[in-house]
Structure formats: C-alpha cells, structure tokens
Structure 1
Amino acid sequence: MDEESADRGKGGLRRFLRRMASSRAELEAEELQKSSGDEGATPITECAERTRHRVAGTLRTVTLRPRGGAPALEAELYDGTDVISLVWLGRRKITGIDPGRMLRAEGLVSTQDGRKVMFNPRYELRGGS
C-alpha cells in the first residue's frame, strides 16, 4: 500500500471513529450545516441584524402566538449552527409549515429579546416531512 492510500485509510478511520463518538444531535447538526451551505444560505450564527439574509434548515417548532391582539404563526428554524424565529403576522396556519419540514427563508433579520427573528419571510418548502 502506498502513502496516499494509507493516508486515505487513516482519514476514513478517523471519520468513522468521530461519527461513532458523536451524538445523534451533533451528526444532525453537521448534516444540516452541509445542506444549508448547498442551498446558498447564510449560517444563522453569521446573520447580522438589520440585514437581509437567506437561511435554510429544519423547522423544530411551529406555534400560534398572538402579537398585539392579532394572530401570528411562529416557527423555529434550526440550521445546525443556531436558531432563528420565523414569524408570519396575521396568519394562523400555513400549509406545509410543520415541525420537521425543511425550508429556505429570506428576509430582514432583527433581534427581539436576544433572539434572531425574521418577520413575514419569503420561503420555499424543501424536501422532507
């Protein structure tokens, strides 16, 4: 076996051992980060306030939370790096917006109570769920 083959074998063994030692959550986060990058999305941790960004990930939760007496559908999007709340004002339900669903969203990022939020984002449902 030549040196290059030996190095590839060591790398494969390292990857295998790392995957075996990693938790399921770590592996899912790694996979989400890779797929989000493939979508042309900005990692949520790198999203600056008052700037338009495209993010992609999986919806963790979807809840109805009234804001100022009006309905608001709020979804928590996770991309493997961080979480952002997507809020659609005046909506009670949006078909396809369900926990576990993958989507890509684009909009202006703001911060509320220390959390990143995107109000009325444009979105595209992706495969899954």
Structure 2
Amino acid sequence: MASAAAGYIRRLTRRLTEDLEELDAEEMAESSHATGALPVVSCTRGQEVTMFGRLRSVESSSKAACASVEAELFDGTDSILLVWIGRRRIPGIEPGKTLQVRGRVGERDGRKAIYNPYYELRDPA
C-alpha cells in the first residue's frame, strides 16, 4: 500500500513539474500506440502506413494551377506532412483535430510526407 501511494505521489509530482509539451507528446504517443498505428519516427520512405495523431498546422494554397492543402500531423514521436493535391479546403481538417491516416510515405523537401492520404477524423483519445 505504501509503494502505491509513493508511486501516485511520484506521478503527481512529475505531472506538476514537467513541461506541458513533453507531457502532451507522451500522451499522444501512448494514444497512437494504443490504436496500433506505426510511430512517425519509425516509418521509412516507400512504406505503406497507418498513423494516428493531432494536426499541429494546416495551410492551403489557392493557386489555380497547384491547389493543395498541407497539414502537419504529430503523433508524439515526430511529425509528418500530409498533402492533399487539388484541394483548396477540406472540411474538418484544421489545427487541433485528431486523425487516423493511411498512405504511402514519401518525401518533400527532406521531410517525410504522405500525399493524398485516406483519413478519418477521430475523437481525442
């Protein structure tokens, strides 16, 4: 019983003193792992993947010749760029939303990217 109380106090102290971004990243990584998704940090170019994470940023390019929506998905381990080509806007794709995505990992400007991923909006875990 005493060790359980000590463990509780240790976890509580850690939550009160640790950086909020680190705690958020840990929680997101745990949620991603619980869904069975592959961590972004582990994926490689050419690999077919399923990932789970939260959108950190969303930008759209409205140029008629190259309309696209770009979003940064963070899963607690790393981030990956999601690019939807030929779209100016996608309902529900906005910063803070939680998604599960599937697609093949590619590269854009030296960063991991998935082009035109299949996605599902999910409730935060």
> TM-score, normalized by length of structure 1?
0.88
User: Which residue is 2:102 aligned to?
Assistant: 106
Asked if 1:22 corresponds to 2:22, the answer is no
Is the CA contact 2:52–2:100 (under 8 Å) kept in the aligned structure 1? Answer: yes
Point out the structure with max Rg over C-alpha.
Answer: 1
Shift of 1:12: 1.6
Deviations 1:76-122 (CA, angstroms, capped at 9, x unpaired):
10111111000001011111101110000010001222211000001
Asked if 1:56 corresponds to 2:45, the answer is no
Asked if 1:83 corresponds to 2:83, the answer is no
Q: Give the secondary-structure state (helix, strand or coil) at the position aligned to 2:4.
A: helix
> TM-score, normalized by length of structure 2?
0.91
Shift of 1:65: 3.3
Cα distance between partner residues in 2 of 1:7 and 1:65: 56
What is the number of residues matched between the two proteins? 124
Percent of residue pairs bearing the same amino acid type? 44
Is the CA contact 2:40–2:77 (under 8 Å) kept in the aligned structure 1? Answer: yes
**Counterpart AA for 2:44:** A
Unaligned runs of 5+ in 2: none
Asked if 1:35 corresponds to 2:27, the answer is no
Q: Give the secondary-structure state (helix, strand or coil) at the position aligned to 2:95.
A: coil
Q: Give the secondary-structure state (helix, strand or coil) at the position aligned to 2:83.
A: strand
Residue from 48, 63, 72 that aligns with 2:68? 72
Cα distance between partner residues in 2 of 1:40 and 1:66: 35
